[in-house]
Amino acid sequence: MRVSSLLLSLAGSVATVAAEPSKVVAKSSPSVKAGCQALEKPLAESVFLPNTAVYDYEAQNFWSNTEILTPGCVFRPQSSDELAEGVKTLVNADAEFAVRGGGHMGIRGSNNINGGVLIVMSNLTTLQLNADKSVLSVGPAYRWEQVYSYLAKYDLAAAGGRLGPVGVPGLLLAGGVNFYGNQVGFGCNTVINYEVVLADGSLVNANSTQNSDLFWALKGGSSNFGLVTRFDLETIPSTQVWAGAYTVSAEYVDAFLAAIATYASDIFDTKTHIVPALVPGDSTLASVILFYDSDNTTFPDIFTPFTKIPSVSSTLAFKTVAEFANELGAMVVPGINDVFVAGTVKGTTYDELYQGISIINTTFFNELPKLYAQVPSANISTIQLDWQPIGADWIEASEARGGNALGLDSSQVYLCYAEVVEWIGSAYDDVVASWVEETTYAINNATQKAGLYDAFNYMGDAAGFQSIFPGYGAGNHQKLIKIAQKYDPNGVFQTLMPGGFKVY
């Protein structure tokens, strides 16, 4: 029996959460139940208790099974004002809550809660272009596939997720690694205005002239300051792009890893984006997502180090961003168990970057037998190791748009790596969690020894055991704490909303 169905059959009784086989602690303080009761009076039509169709749907609507818990009720506000009223009510009742956008932060308790109120953004569905179509207002209900298919009608795209099913709000609040990064920077840097519910229940705008400190903090600071009810996002003209996944066989792994270092050490064409990955299996595959922002040019020179390696498969072709995000989205399996882990090496030369890649590769593959010894291969759906190059053009484009909280320095090239494990059967949750933690420490100790380690962990790819804000640098971290305290003096978003990455 899947943990999710086990939990649902027990829904409504907080005490029974203890029956869950893993480490969730059942909360039974009065504040946990108080929220659902307090919301019932003013907002009855938007509050859903266990054993209703809406509760059953929303409480299951997460990317990874590891995220599924048993909230006391679901609060699905119909408008920003209703969310604002709900936050005020919850704060007055001293009640705990969690917030879920697209549900892709695969960390237990980051976007869900046992017993308390699960706030879901499903009905905050603004989706509108301004008069000259340069700005899209988008509510936190959406997944990127919906945004791209809407924009495609106008020959537009946006700097959002590469896989269609990923949620809009969590990605933009983490930073937003996107196809257009070398041209526009992080996705968050294309946001020109946020509409936000603050801890006191007020609804404010944050932009470069109004609440500009909050505007900056929301670019990488996640859920520590307020709940975003609308993102006003720059659009990007786009008819078609030349893009696809280009896959080579195991014998070429070294050439493939060298190609990553060649690209990363000299990203001379800003129309490009790459996501190179190794996929271990009976025979290891190396596959790179290649993206070229052009409707008339194939095989640009900068991709040659990859495309001169013979491929076993390739989907490279002209397509819309919407089509490409759907293609990539189909590569992942929803409804199983997943973990992502983040880490970073940095350098300025080919040699440094190649060495960083090689250490990560070697350490990861050395650790793999320990995972296979504990989880049968039939229960492993995917293992992947990927590298995301973030260089000077990307960082400078972010800075030109006002910067962000991430603290990256344009004199360096960052290779943000991610480990991904997806498995079937919650019986393996703890084994996988221990393995990725151990493996990550082994990798980071090795890169540190080589002088290539950086403390930056990209939030979107991070696991629950990792810390994020210290990696932004002490100055930025301190600034984020100050801004959180200014807009939320009682620390509502750190205490009553315990889930997610916290600045303090």
Ligand X SMILES: Cc1cc2nc3c(=O)[nH]c(=O)nc-3n(C[C@H](O)[C@H](O)[C@H](O)COP(=O)(O)OP(=O)(O)OC[C@H]3O[C@@H](n4cnc5c(N)ncnc54)[C@H](O)[C@@H]3O)c2cc1C
- The residues that touch ligand NAG, with contacts defined as CB under 6 A, are 78, 122-123, 192-193, 205, 207, 209-210, 232, 253-254, 257, 296-297, 358, 361-362, 365, 378-379, 424-425, 427, 441, 444-445, 448, 453
**Beta carbon nearer to ligand NAG, 210 or 304:** 210
CA 416 and chain centroid, separation: 13
Of 229, 16, 26, 14, give the one whose Cα is nearest residue 120.
229
Q: Report the DSSP pairing between strands 97-100 and 117-120.
A: parallel
Closest separation between CB of residue 295 and ligand NAG, Å?
A: 7
3-class SS letters over 51-95? CCHHHHHHCCCCCCHHHCCCCCEEECCCCHHHHHHHHHHHHHCCC
Binding of residue 176 to ligand X (CB under 6 A): yes
Return the one option of ligand NAG, ligand X, none that residue 425 interacts with (CB less than 5 to 8 A, by type).
Answer: ligand NAG
Instruction: Please check whether residue 458 is in contact with residue 342, taking contact to mean a CB–CB distance below 8 angstroms.
Output: yes
Choose, by CB under 6 A, the member of 111, 189, 211, 240 that binds ligand X.
111
Closest to 244 in 3D by CA, of 159, 310, 158, 162: 162
Question: Which of ligand X, ligand NAG, none interacts with 140 (beta carbon under 5 to 8 A by kind)?
Answer: ligand X
Q: Which does 190 bind (CB under 5 to 8 A by kind): ligand NAG, ligand X, none?
A: none
Counting contacts by CB under 6 A, is residue 169 touching ligand X?
yes
For residue 182, give the H/E element and its range. Answer: helix 181-184
Q: How far is CA 365 from CA 242, 332, 358, in A?
A: 32, 22, 11
Judged by beta carbon distances under 5 to 8 A according to partner kind, the member of ligand X, ligand NAG, none in contact with residue 361 is ligand NAG
Q: Which does 100 bind (CB under 5 to 8 A by kind): ligand NAG, ligand X, none?
A: ligand X
User: Least distance from C-beta 448 to ligand NAG, angstroms?
Assistant: 5
For residues 58 and 122, is the Cβ–Cβ distance under 8 A? yes
Residue 321 interacts with ligand X (CB under 6 A)?
Answer: no
Residue 211 or 223 having the CB closest to ligand NAG: 211
Type and span of the H or E element at 58 = helix 53-58
Stretch that binds ligand X, among 27-35, 37-45, 104-112, 408-416 (CB under 6 A): 104-112
Q: Which residues pair with 384 in a beta bridge?
A: 420
CB-based burial, 233-263: b 16+ in 10 Å, e otherwise: bbbbebebbbbbbbbbbeebbeebbbbbbbb
Given the complex with ligand X, which of 244 and 359 has the nearer CB atom? Answer: 244
- Pick the piece of the chain touching ligand X (CB under 6 A) from 101-109, 310-318, 354-362, 408-416: 101-109
Please state, in angstroms and rounded to a whole number, the distance separating the CA atoms of residues 332 and 289. Answer: 14
Of 260-289, which residues contact ligand X (CB under 6 A)?
Answer: none
Helix (H) or strand (E) holding 415: strand 413-423
Interatomic CA distance for residues 104 and 210, integer angstroms: 30
Interface with ligand X (CB under 6 A), residue total: 34
Does 214 bind ligand X (CB under 6 A)? Our answer is: no
User: Measured from the CB atom, is 332 or 480 closer to ligand X?
Assistant: 332
By a kind-dependent CB cut-off of 5 to 8 A, residue 166 interacts, out of ligand X, ligand NAG, none, with ligand X
| Orientation angle between helical segments 350-372 and 429-449, nearest 10 degrees | 150
Write out the residues near ligand X by the rule CB under 6 A: 63, 99-106, 110-111, 121, 140, 161-163, 166-167, 169-171, 173-177, 222-223, 227-228, 332, 460, 499-500
